[in-house]
Amino acid sequence: MTYDYSALIGRIIQKYGTQYRFAEAMKMSEHSLSVKLNGKRPWKQADIEDACCLLDIKREDIPKYFFALNAQFC
């Protein structure tokens, strides 16, 4: 199963300007963030919670940002 993180990436850029600055705020390396955003490593629940706090994502919007399926999946 592959997920589409384009909405999440857009929110990161909107709030932090760069993925690097967001990775710093998340206290993770830019590489760790990159592999998560490219679907090579899963997001841990704690990381999702931290990201939602930093990006002002409401609980009900989590699926839109973290669980949107790629169109090619269906």
Length of the chain counted residue by residue: 74
Tens digit of each residue's pLDDT (9 = 90 or more) over 37-56: 999 999 999 999 999 999 99
Residue 74 has pLDDT above 70, yes or no: no
Structure tokens at 10: 């857009």
Note the pTM of the prediction, 2 decimals: 0.91
Residue (of 59, 54, 64, 41) closest to 12 by Cα position: 54
Domains of the chain, first to last: 6-69 (1.10.260)
What is the predicted pLDDT for the residue at 59? 96
Q: Are 2 and 73 in contact (CB under 8 A)?
A: yes
